Amino acid sequence: MRNIKLLVEYDGTNYAGWQRQKNVMTIQEKIETAIEKITGEKTQITGSSRTDTGVHAKGYTGNFYTNSKISVEKFTGAINSKLPLDIVILHCFEVPCEFHSRYNCTGKMYSYTILNRYEAVAVGRNYIYHHKRILDVEAMKEASKYFMGTHDFSAFKNLGSSVKTSVRTITRLDIIKNEDIIKIYIAADGFLYNMVRIIVGALVRVGEGKIKPNEIKDIILSKERAKAGKSVPPGGLCLEEVFY
């Protein structure tokens, strides 16, 4: 039995997220069906995480077992030939039998893209969150420091997944403004459910002047979800990389 690791890019606009569900189309189902067409075997992919409806990925990872003799080089093109244009296998890797794309994951990096201008947007609208009111990026950068490091992020977690602990370590939180695009990169050893979108929502409230940068500290300490405020929409979110 071979264990194949997949590196996947997808446009999540038209899918109900990664994980297979009844009555809605998901990315997992599309790729499993494509692999089954190639290998003739019933296939189940172990994904590195769930992603929500409308969230994108440039570096999603998963793995599956197969008896197929197709070389790892040929697998990529073969699976892609059975996939729609909004899902692409970037690479297939031959990995040891014990490799597990979720358990072996040591961290992840996401990006979140805000278009910060008054006018609405047509080009690229599915990949950005359009925020009309001009944000104070310096205040957002100041606030980002309070997220860095190890904290109990209970205030930045929605219900929906069972996890043993809400303690996570954020290793990177960069906010880069380029003309009217604000790009936020956030890396951690793991993320709670909706954590990135709730953190970005709080940063946006700082940028609007509704809360002060140093209030982030108190919101974290409160462990109360309500204090963190609204999360931002899924389209701006992209899973950039899964670390092993």
Closest distance of CB 196 from a copy of itself, Å: 17
Whichever of 85 and 159 has its CB closer to a copy of itself, that residue is: 85
Closest distance of CB 55 from a copy of itself, Å: 11
Closest distance of CB 87 from a copy of itself, Å: 6
CA of 149: how far to CAs of 28, 91, 105, 187, 211, in Å?
32, 32, 19, 11, 21
Whichever of 1 and 123 has its CB closer to a copy of itself, that residue is: 123
Give the Cα separation of 77 and 82 in Å (integer). 9
Give the Cα separation of 104 and 98 in Å (integer). 9
Give the Cα separation of 139 and 203 in Å (integer). 9
The answer to the question of whether 127 is labelled as a binding residue is no
Count of other CB atoms within 10 angstroms of residue 74:
11
Whichever of 85 and 226 has its CB closer to a copy of itself, that residue is: 85
Closest distance of CB 219 from a copy of itself, Å: 31
Pairing of strands 87-95, 56-66: unpaired
CA of 88: how far to CAs of 5, 16, 131, 144, 227, in Å?
14, 17, 30, 33, 39
Whichever of 142 and 180 has its CB closer to a copy of itself, that residue is: 180
Q: Which amino acid, residue 162? A: S
Active-site positions? 52
CB-based contacts of 33: which residues, under 8 Å, 6+ apart? 82
Residues that bind a copy of itself (CB under 8 A): 9-11, 56-58, 80, 85-88, 90-91, 119-125, 127, 238
Q: Which residues are annotated as a binding site for substrate?
A: 110
